[in-house]
Chain A
Amino acid sequence: MKILVADDEPIMLKTIALKLKKDGHEVIATDNGREAIELIESEKPELVITDIMMPFASGLEIAGKVKQSASPVPVIILSSMGQENVVLEAFNLGADDFITKPFSPNELSVRVKRLMVPHAALHLT
């Protein structure tokens, strides 16, 4: 599965990308929102994982763009404690799941797997 990860913190970005690669996914990583939007259009990922606070374009803008596109894909939002209102806004924009920091990398794997199943079934039909 081709996954786009957007996070402006280098360690977070590398860790998430590495974990997903270990799980057998193809990963496109970016540290800014504007580039993430460009990559969504050019690379056509099957899943987007984005942090909320991002330079140039926020995670919410990314989620909005993905869901407005002709072929929307699942979006997982990474949020911090106390950002519940923003998470609600993300769900309104169509986000499929959210993970609150602090989290375990294994939790991320499980969430990705959970989202992959219905999406794969949709593609098959």
Chain B
Amino acid sequence: MILVCSLLVFMSIYSFRRHQFTTKRNWLKKCFADVVSDIILCESPEELEVAISKVDNNVKTALKFRYGRKVLLKEIIHTKANFTGHAADNLVWLYERWSFHQDSLARFASDKWHIKAKGIQQLAEMRQTRFLKRIYRDTDHPNALVRKEAQVAIVQLIGFEGLRFLRFIQYPLTQWQQLCLLHQLNEQDINVKSIEEWLRSANETVVEFALRLIEKYKCFTLQNLIIDLLNSPNQNIVSQAIQTLNEIADEDTATLLIPYFDMLAGIHQHELLQIIVNNIQPEQHSFLLDLSTSTDPLICNTALKALQKFHVQFIGKKQRTNTGVYLLPVPEKDVI
């Protein structure tokens, strides 16, 4: 009975406190909405000064308290994500004007990883490039989330140039982390020399990421280096190398890949064959003929299909001009 009563009392107090907090937060949000929307629509520095001078006492008081600042900071950051151009610039101005960077820095200095990560996220979102060096130091932080936020923040702040942390990071880049970094990168000036350097990194996940960069930016000049990676013992690298080669293949690719065909096995061999077949040249038809007798039904089928296509494209044309041409054994239908 006592236990039930205690539980009921606890639940009532909890609900009451929660309701109080929600009401207060909503009230603060409404107070801030007027100020922030005014600031967002300003078109000049003068208008911004006028708008900020009109801020009412409720907001001024709220800014003196931790909770009020927390709610407003959250609102500013959330709202900035919804706007571009002048509107977003004005929100960054407001963030600096009310010294919210100090709040973000305090979070950034926290020993708790989730608070630290949040601080980094806020500084990056509000384009605080002046704290770049401090964020940069955490790009190889032992905590995965802090590391991820720091790396994403650096790229968000200075773009491709920020990827220079790839030169020294010891910890692996997860697949998700690689995708997050790629997402942050726009079509901007890239440094092929740097990518070439990362392809030789001792950190295998950096090599994998470099391959993804080559795929994204279509760095055709690095084709030979990628082909070398087909010998890698790391299957993820081989898989990504094949995917990248497929994206940047040209008329020389098939010739370069044929010597690697027998070195690979399983799914990688099939994928490589597909790239060869897609970029096959007339002088490579003997390679396809050899494969058409393969015991692997998938390889045999791919080779026969390619031969059929090859016949139509190249031999067929030749046959029309030269009756002495060698006719390939082309099946009428797929074997399998």
Chain A residues proximal to chain B, CB less than 8 Å: 9-15, 17-19, 22, 101-106
Contact = CB atoms under 8 A, between A and B. Distances in A.
A117 B30 CA distance: 34
Contacts of A19: 41
Contacts of A10: 29-30, 33
A9 B77 CA distance: 13
Contacts of B84: 102-104
Interface residues of B, number: 21
A11 B85 CA distance: 17
Main secondary structure of the interface of B (DSSP, over half): helix
B302 to A, nearest CB: 35
Contacts of A103: 82-84
A17 B36 CA distance: 13
A107 to B, nearest CB: 8
Given A10-B33, A11-B32, A104 B86 contact: yes
Given A10-B30, A102-B88, A104-B86, A15 B40 contact: yes
Contacts of B85: 104, 106
Contacts of A17: 37
B76 to A, nearest CB: 9
Given A15-B41, A18-B41, A22-B41, A105 B34 contact: no
B83 A104 contact: yes
Contacts of A11: 29, 32-33, 36-37, 40, 75, 79
A102 B84 CA distance: 6
A18 B79 CA distance: 15
A7 to B, nearest CB: 10
B38 interface: yes
Nearest to A17: B37
A102 B82 contact: yes
A18 B90 CA distance: 16
A12 B78 CA distance: 10
B82 A101 contact: yes
A15 B37 contact: yes
A105 B40 contact: yes
Nearest to B40: A15
B2 interface: no
Given A11-B37, A15-B83, 17 more contacts: A10-B33, A11-B32, A11-B36, A11-B40, A11-B75, A14-B34, A14-B36, A15-B40, A15-B41, A15-B87, A17-B37, A18-B38, A104-B87, A105-B41, A105-B83, A105-B86, A106-B86
